[in-house]
Amino acid sequence: HAHRTTAAISHVFRGTFIHSTQKTAVQILEDALLGVNAEGKIAFIGTGVDLHKLAQAFGFSPSEVTQLTQHEFFMPGMVDTHIHASQYSYAGTALDLPLLQWLNTYTFPVESRFKDLDFANRVYTRVVKRTLRNGTTTACYFATIHSDASLLLGQIANDFGQRALVGKVCMDRNEGVKHYKETIQESQEETSRFIAELLNKKYPLVKPIVTPRFALSCTGALLGQLGAIAKNNNLHIQSHISENVEEVNLVKELFPESESYTDVYHRHNLLTDKTVMAHGCYLSDKELDLFRETGASVSHCPNSNIALCSGLLDVRNVLNHKVKLGLGTDVAGGYSASMLDAVRRTLDTSKVLTIQDPEYNTLTFEEVFRLATLGGSQALSLDDQTGNFEVGKDFDALRVNVAAPGAPIDLIQCEEPKILLEKFLNLGDDRNIVEVFVAGRMVVPFTEPVDSCTAE
């Protein structure tokens, strides 16, 4: 399936490349050559090729090749399938209440402030920079109910070069904080305006995503309208599902005609192959079958599931149902904006389930690496463009130096690439991520002017 493009080669790297394929959770290519073309796409990748023949065939000079060191490798950029950009200001605090009280006490009052574009600019600049710095090359964002602030988030992601799905949040029901909601008409009109204006900007890497907050904050009528908007414009959809027991019980009361929480979304045309639903801790096997049939995916948010005492998602069971699954930070229910944290919490959750049942088929670090990269891109239906190092995809990549100065990993001896990957996933941080590329453009270290906030 390697297809040739005619675009000129803009960078060539030589060294270790680690990525996932459908068949292999961790595929390691040592002393490989990877070429990126002027469109930011992977033009070639291979091992054991003659550099001079390759250079001639693709029209680049062997002297332009960037050689990685022994402790370095490239891996695909990580995909955060669920993050609330609007909650970043209080990340790391306010984790003392269960979901529904947490929303009323902390979340809705803060989200109300995004009517103020200056506040929105400060928060959104910080979250885009922080996530890119941590290796999130693709983010699926919730903003707030405010269209203009949500458009600003799209602009900021575009300016810093992050691939993003951006959702203006929709909610026409809110018993807890009565002023933080829309009428059904506002929600529908503002969603249409947000989509039209964002598409009009023609940002190459930023797309709108239809975002009913969750069943409890939407009337059935609004859910139906949002399903229709998504269908008519062939758009992505995101929401929350089955995160917490109290929430699941209230959904049953509010939608008595529905057979299940999943059915609430399904009957409003919100389950499609471009839908991603966060959490899903309490989905039944029958509901997971409906996910598979419709092609909808699950975003696993383990930090948030534990921090808000919501539940433990059985990822193995979701995968056994052949449902697409990616990882999410769920800032600020999850306190960390780093996908490395999501990787670790995913492994921890799987090990807690193993403590509870020693027969449990524990996730391996190799599988979780795939979920953080290729799995996430599949969950967002962006895997034709990103997720691994297949020829023709965009070059979204992290240059990792396991022995980077100041970073928290001590290498006592030379280690093979798989050990380097495992150490990075378990012990590393942004100091090990020396460069980040999105669609072939180096976005870390930052090349854009820094934001206006003085507390840099």
Q: Which residues bind Fe ion (CB under 5 A)?
A: 278, 330
240 near ligand GUN, judged by CB under 6 A? yes
Closest CB to ligand GUN among 107 and 294?
107
Residue 35 near which of Fe ion, ligand GUN, none (CB within 5-8 Å, type-dependent): none
d(CA 384, CA 390): 10
3-state DSSP percent of the chain in helix, strand and coil, to 5: 40, 20, 35
243 near ligand GUN, judged by CB under 6 A? yes
d(CA 291, CA 445): 39
327 near ligand GUN, judged by CB under 6 A? no
Minimum CB separation of residue 99 from ligand GUN in Å reads: 6
Instruction: Output the six-digit token pair for 421.
Output: 């990957």
Burial 299-316 (b: 16+ CB within 10 A, else e): bbbbbbbbbbebbebbbb
Q: Are 182 and 170 in contact (CB under 8 A)?
A: yes
| Residue written as token pair 């996430």 | 376
Q: Which amino acid is at 447?
A: T
Q: Please give the residue whose beta carbon sits closest to ligand GUN in the complex.
A: 333
| Residue written as token pair 């991520």 | 433
Minimum CB separation of residue 281 from ligand GUN in Å reads: 11
**Strand positions, DSSP E, 20-77:** 27-37, 42-47, 65-67, 72-76
Minimum CB separation of residue 133 from Fe ion in Å reads: 21
CB atoms within 10 A of CB 77: 29
213 near ligand GUN, judged by CB under 6 A? yes
Closest CB to ligand GUN among 213 and 345?
213
Ranges within 74-103 binding ligand GUN (CB under 6 A): 84, 99, 103
Among 212, 333, 376, 387, binds ligand GUN (CB under 6 A): 333
Closest CB to Fe ion among 239 and 260?
239
Binding mask 255-294 for ligand GUN (x = CB under 6 A): ----------------------------------------
Residue 214 near which of Fe ion, ligand GUN, none (CB within 5-8 Å, type-dependent): ligand GUN
Among 20, 107, 131, 137, binds ligand GUN (CB under 6 A): 107
71 near ligand GUN, judged by CB under 6 A? no
Residue 156 near which of Fe ion, ligand GUN, none (CB within 5-8 Å, type-dependent): none
Q: Are 142 and 167 in contact (CB under 8 A)?
A: yes
Q: Are 110 and 142 in contact (CB under 8 A)?
A: no
Angle at CA of residue 448, ends 447 and 454, nearest 5° = 120
Closest CB to Fe ion among 278 and 323?
278
Minimum CB separation of residue 167 from ligand GUN in Å reads: 11
What angle do the packed helices 184-201 and 147-160 form, to 10 degrees? 20
| Contact residues: ligand GUN, CB under 6 A | 84, 99, 103, 107, 213-214, 240, 243, 304, 330, 333
